[in-house]
Amino acid sequence: MPAAYYIPEFITEQEEEQLLKQVYAVPKPKWVTLSNRRLQNWGKRGMLVEPLPDWLTWPLKRIEERGLSIFPATTPANHCLVNEYAAGQGIMPHEDGPMYLPCVATLSLGSHAVLDFTPRETTTNTGCFSLFLAPRSLFVQRDQLYELYLHGIAETTADDLSNERRASPLLLPPPEPYDSRQGRVERGMRVSLTYRRVARSINKPKLLLR
């Protein structure tokens, strides 16, 4: 299985606008404010089994309709974290960990992100790389990419797209209208929908469950 998929323009501008409207229509207490982003937590949480709301599930249906078997049929996504980043905000390098099956599908809304990957087991910069996630794209990270790398988003108001100046290379050339010759691309407000499958148990070793 490949460890990553990237699908530009997975949703239309109208769909993006609609999703953003839904994200901002939720009651205020649904937002959790962290120091460098805000988030909403949907779906299964601990013992609480809550189905994902319809407005969040249609992108998952589209994944299926396109024949992209990203989540195994027996373990469909049952959790979605909605992250909101203002320009200048980001997320420290981290792993999502064993609470989830090793697969994340991310829809980017509103603005782009540059996702930086760092191998877990090294103290040098070798093996680091970055991916440009355009608004409306779907990015899937799974298996070895999920397990062997940390991922993060730098806290910056603009991203350098020129590989000559970047600390870690952008693996795919940024798409139109982002032109690498312009050098830097300003960030706007970005909302990401990150779909995952919560593993069966976060406390008990698997053997005890059999």
Ligand X SMILES: O=C(O)CCC(=O)C(=O)O
Q: Which residues bind Fe ion (CB under 5 A)?
A: 96
Task: Examine residue 151 and tell whether it contacts ligand X (CB under 6 A).
Answer: yes
CA distance 167 to 207: 43
CA distance 169 to 172: 9
CA distance 74 to 208: 20
Q: State how far Cα 204 lies from the chain centre.
A: 27
Q: What x-and-dash track marks residues 176-205 binding ligand X by CB under 6 A?
A: ----------------x-x-----------
106, interface contact from Fe ion, ligand X, none, CB < 5-8 Å by kind: ligand X
10 Å Cβ neighbour count for 210? 4
Non-local CB neighbours of 85 within 8 Å, separated by 6+ positions: 36, 37, 91, 113, 153, 187, 189, 190, 191, 192
Which residue number places its CB atom closest to ligand X? 192
Q: Please give the span between the terminal C-alpha atoms of the chain, in angstroms, as a whole number.
A: 26
Closer to ligand X by CB, 22 or 36: give it.
36
Chain residues 96-115 in contact with ligand X, contact rule CB under 6 A: 96, 106, 113, 115
Closer to ligand X by CB, 151 or 187: give it.
151
- Residues 56, 81, 128, 185: which binds ligand X (CB under 6 A)? 81
Tell me the site size for ligand X, rule CB under 6 A.
10
Instruction: List residues binding ligand X (CB under 6 A).
Output: 81, 83, 91, 96, 106, 113, 115, 151, 192, 194
